[in-house]
Each structure stands twice: as C-alpha cells, then as structure tokens.
Chain A
C-alpha cells in the first residue's frame, strides 16, 4: 500500500534516500555490538530488506525508527544466540589454554561479552538508545531514530544508563 498520490518511483526513491542516509550508521552500530562485521552487514541488509517490504504508509520518521529498532533488536538476538553457542562450544572443548600473548585478547573479549550480555538483558529501547548514543549520535538524531520526543531523550537516557550500571553490577560486581 502506498500513500495517496505516491508512485512506485517515489516509494523507491524514499527507500533509496533512507538507505543512503542510514546504512553506514546501522552497520557501524551493529558492528560495534557484535564484533563481527560480516554478521553486522548481514543483519543490516536483512533489516533494509524487511523495510523495503513494509507497507509505505508510515512517514519518514516512522520508517527510520522502525529500521533502527528492527536492526538493533536483531543484533541483540544474535548476541544472545552467539553467547549460547559459545557456552556450548566451551563446554565441549574445555577451558581454552591461554598463552601470554593471548591473554590481553581474552580479557578484551571477556569485557566485550559482558557488555553484550548486559545490553541483551536490558529493555530493547534502552539498549538501542545506549548503543546509538555510544556511537556518538546526537539527541535530535536519537529522537528521529528511535521515535521518541526530543525533550524526553535526556530522561530516557539517564534511566537507561542507570539500568545498565545496575545490571552490570548485579552480574559482575561493583568493580567497574
């Protein structure tokens, strides 16, 4: 379904504009979240494909926020799935033997996985907000990307940060 008066060409152009405006940001955020560029690009592409199949009834802001929500939620799902798979693999393989050279990498990997797990445990909107803000997105763009009022960004962000810290401390102790 297309908005009244919109041709297929208009619809295609709207999608094209959205793609060029947001593809890099979506992949960048997913890449940071997942640490796997190929998987990030795959999820981003999937989100854009779903967007292309969406009825074009929504306005630009609606489609933008839909895109970010779907992409980041899919990224968080993949993080959960990856974590489950890794636990299974480690259970089969036993503890990995670390060398001195690999120690730093293992520690960095552990820090990353902790953040991933806490993000995956948050409400989706809080995780989306923290990921986009940590990627340097300005409040006005956050408002557009997540479909929240500009005046509410600060308060929602403050609550999301509080939740993140609380869950992190609950899982991994007070040393942050």
Chain B
C-alpha cells in the first residue's frame, strides 16, 4: 500500500486544490485505505458544517463599488472662456486703449437661475463713453454662462470693456476673486 496522506493533503483534495497528478494519486489511495478514507470523510463533513454555520453571516447582497477619488477641481479651466474672450479683445484693441473694468456693482446673486438676477445689477458708470453705452440694454437673449457649478451666495458683477467699449462683458465674481459666470454684452 502506498504511503498515507496528511490531513492537509486530504483537506486540499476535498477542495480540489491540488495539481491533477496529486488529485489522481490521492483518489487512488482513498479507494484502498480505510483510514485515510475515514479521515477524508470526516474533514469534508466538518468543513461542510463549519461553512454551513458561517453561511449565517450576512450575505453581501450587492456589488461593492470601489470608491473613486473625486477629480481634482481645476477651477482655472473654467476661466479659459474668459481668457479667450479677453485675448480676442486684446487682438482687436488699439494699443492705446487698455482693457479696464469700467464699473463695479455689488449685488446679492442667488445661486440659480442666474439670468433672473443679472438685470438688477446693472452698474452705474462714470466714464462718459461707457455712460452712453450703459443706457443700452443687452439683448434679451443674453444669459450668463456658468463657468463652474459652485453655488453663489454673494458676488460682485463687474463689467469689463475693451476696444473703447465696443466689446463688453459682465462677470459675476465671488468674494475670492474668481469669476463664476460671464455674459457678453451686445450693444444694439
């Protein structure tokens, strides 16, 4: 008779966790060895009892999602449209006429909808040219374009103009100086 097997081998055999040759060897041995056969039976039955009891532990009833890190907020990306608009303005601007904020008005702006708050914050202007143009209203279809999705509680609406006032835009600027929304002002 071939050598008898350890409990560990018999236990791994019961789980089918051995190389094929070992599985065949042990299976052949169990047919001829009552002692190993009895131990194998007892190990298998015990395992069934233990895992039967452990089945009483809570089942995981739905897939576990791997938490994903929130993408780092790149707020400066949101300012790209503004930067692009200003770059275009510079290209069109005669060099003697600098871009400057012409007016500043403090307003409380609700988070949404933005377009309902904007008309109430029309600034009073000091510059004579800007003053004339301030009387003109932006076209009704002009709405603020959100540059981010952060709620706005208080903000300042700043009008910037370039090209001697030919190109104007309203910015909603938060207390931290970041622009949250932009609206190009089209003069009629």
A115 touches B54 (CB 8 A): yes
**Contact pick for A162, options B46, B53, B54, CB 8 Å:** B46
Check A134 for interface membership: any CB of B closer than 8 A: yes
Q: In the complex, what residue of chain A is closest to B50 when comparing beta carbons?
A: A161
Check A74 for interface membership: any CB of B closer than 8 A: no
B113-139 vs A: 1/0 string, CB under 8 Å? 000000000000000000000000000
User: Which segment, of B57-65, B157-165, B170-178, faces chain A?
Assistant: B57-65
Q: Which residues of B contact A151 (CB under 8 A)?
A: 8
B7 touches A158 (CB 8 A): yes
A155 touches B11 (CB 8 A): yes
User: Which segment, of A22-30, A56-64, A81-89, faces chain B?
Assistant: A22-30
Q: In the complex, what residue of chain B is closest to A138 when comparing beta carbons?
A: B17
**Contact pick for A176, options B9, B49, B57, B59, CB 8 Å:** B49
Q: Which residues of A contact B52 (CB under 8 A)?
A: 176
B57 touches A165 (CB 8 A): no
B59 touches A24 (CB 8 A): no
Q: Once bound together, how far apart are the Cα atoms of A35 and B63, in whole Å?
A: 15
Q: Which residues of A contact B50 (CB under 8 A)?
A: 130, 161, 164-165
Q: Which of B17, B63, B66 has the largest count of A CB atoms less than 10 A from its CB? A: B17
Check B6 for interface membership: any CB of A closer than 8 A: yes
Q: Which chain B residues (25-79) contact chain A, with CB distance < 8 Å?
A: 43, 46-47, 49-60, 63-64, 66-67
Q: In the complex, what residue of chain A is closest to B56 when comparing beta carbons?
A: A111
B59 touches A155 (CB 8 A): no
Q: Once bound together, how far apart are the Cα atoms of A150 and B47, in whole Å?
A: 19
Check A31 for interface membership: any CB of B closer than 8 A: yes
B46 touches A35 (CB 8 A): no
B17 touches A115 (CB 8 A): no
A31 touches B8 (CB 8 A): no
B146-160 vs A: 1/0 string, CB under 8 Å? 000000000000000
Q: Once bound together, how far apart are the Cα atoms of A37 and B55, in whole Å?
A: 17
Check A20 for interface membership: any CB of B closer than 8 A: yes
Q: Which residues of A contact B55 (CB under 8 A)?
A: 134
Q: Which residues of A contact B13 (CB under 8 A)?
A: 154
**Contact pick for B43, options A23, A27, A115, A158, CB 8 Å:** A158
**Contact pick for A112, options B6, B49, B58, CB 8 Å:** B58
Check B12 for interface membership: any CB of A closer than 8 A: yes
Q: Which chain A residues (140-162) contact chain B, with CB distance < 8 Å?
A: 151-159, 161-162
A28 touches B60 (CB 8 A): yes
List residues of B whose CB falls within 8 A of some A CB.
6-13, 15, 17, 43, 46-47, 49-60, 63-64, 66-67
List residues of A whose CB falls within 8 A of some B CB.
19-20, 23-24, 27-28, 31-37, 45, 108, 111-112, 114-116, 130-131, 133-134, 138-139, 151-159, 161-162, 164-165, 168, 176
Write 14 A-B pairs (CB below 8 A) sorted by A numbering. A19-B66, A24-B63, A24-B64, A28-B60, A35-B58, A111-B53, A112-B58, A115-B56, A130-B50, A134-B51, A153-B12, A154-B9, A156-B8, A168-B53
